[in-house]
Amino acid sequence: MSAGRTVLVTGVSRDLGRTFARTLATDPGVDRVIGVDVIPPRGDLGDVTFVRADIRNPVIAKVIAKEDVDTVVHMSVIATPGSAGARGTMKELNVIGTMQLLAACQKSDQVRQLIVKSSTTAYGASNRDPAMFTEEMEPRRPPRTGYAKDVSEVERYVRGFARRRPDVDVTLLRCANVIGARVVSPVTSYFRLPVVPTVLGYDPRLQFLHESDLNRALRHAVVAGRPGTFNIAGDGLLVLSQALRRMGRASVPLPAFAFGGLGSALKSARRADLSPELVSFLTYGRGVDTTRMRTEFGFEPHYSTAGAFEEFAATLPPAARRSERALAALADRLPPVDDDRPAQLTVAPASLAVAPVPEV
């Protein structure tokens, strides 16, 4: 990578964006890193220059022009509203924000590289899915609502931009569920519940990407300049029952219809968001093929799926017995299912909790 690069990173108010921008600013081949978001980041940005700007506004084009940006890393496609507000605001940030950012890149003569952090959520989750999704495959059931639909629309706009600007190297990273001590997402919030609800009769396959490997993959994309679409995930798979055993967490199997009321209660309490797309994922799971990640993108994660999950699990506090009893009481009040027995609380043995994985 030649010296003198100016990189603009969106979404730096969130921990993942802030950490990546700060790390990238230490790269000797990068002259400047411009961090953009609607609110200032809470942590230290190091040598990153922060610009308070809303990518939903055409003013982002002025920022790109004024700062002579040649590389854009888009990390503002978010799965949780957080401080952004409600679902409507989140959709605006994801879809309208991406449209305005791409329009700004379209107008710029300096931009030569665009990297977009996407998600394997683009493939959906259904009973018609293949064993492993490759990058050429489409979701078997196109998403109609929520974050999954946002991801689908964002990727469509990115592909359109790549056709209009063939002179720009466009890299789309479809990342598996990112997991780590600082990650706040629907999946990590789900696993942080003191008692974890599962879909009765299903044991979905899961893939994870450690937060540090996300950082490394994005940095590799900037440095290597490999255009294309790539699945990014740690080696191997875990099924949900394995993950819960390794956490030493209590779980309660519930019929799918019970997740609606439970999800509303958890969302009101700001504990977790059991959206329909997350429930589908917890029912059918998802697996993606990462051959292209290694052979074409040239990237190898440090953490396997199991290793990433083990380190995350080691950071979780012990489950509260009071919460376990409360959720067990909820299970007892549910209507009978299948063989006329109520849903039962399952407690994974604490002896199966994992030890921390050394820092890589």
- In CATH, the architecture of 5-177+209-234+287-297 is 3-Layer(aba) Sandwich (3.40)
CA distances from 313 to 93, 176, 248, 309 (A): 31, 17, 9, 6
Distance between CA atoms of residues 191 and 316, nearest Å: 9
- Average pLDDT of the segment spanning 245-252: 89
Statement: residue 83 has pLDDT above 60: no
Q: What is the pLDDT of residue 79?
A: 81
Torsion angle of C-alpha atoms 321, 325, 331, 333, degrees rounded to 10:
-170
Strands 238-239 and 205-206: antiparallel
Return the bridge partners of 118, or none. 174
Helix (H, G, I), strand (E, B) or coil at 283: helix
Statement: residue 172 has pLDDT above 70: yes
| Cα angle 230-235-240, degrees, rounded to a multiple of 5 | 110
Return the bridge partners of 72, or none. 8, 114
Q: Which residue has the higher pLDDT, 274 or 34?
A: 34
> What predicted TM-score, i.e. pTM, was given to this entire model?
0.87
Percent of the chain with pLDDT over 70: 85
DSSP string, 96-124: IHHHHHHHHHHH-SS--EEEEEEEGGGG-
Write the DSSP symbol of residue 258.
G
- Based on DSSP, count helices (H) and strands (E) in the chain, helices before strands: 13, 14
Q: What is the pLDDT of residue 119?
A: 96
Q: What is the pLDDT of residue 358?
A: 35
How confident is the model over 88-111, as pLDDT tens digits? 778 888 999 999 999 999 999 999
Q: Which residue has the higher pLDDT, 331 or 40?
A: 40
Closest CA to 232 of 301, 320, 143: 301
How confident is the model over 280-299, as pLDDT tens digits? 999 999 999 999 999 999 99
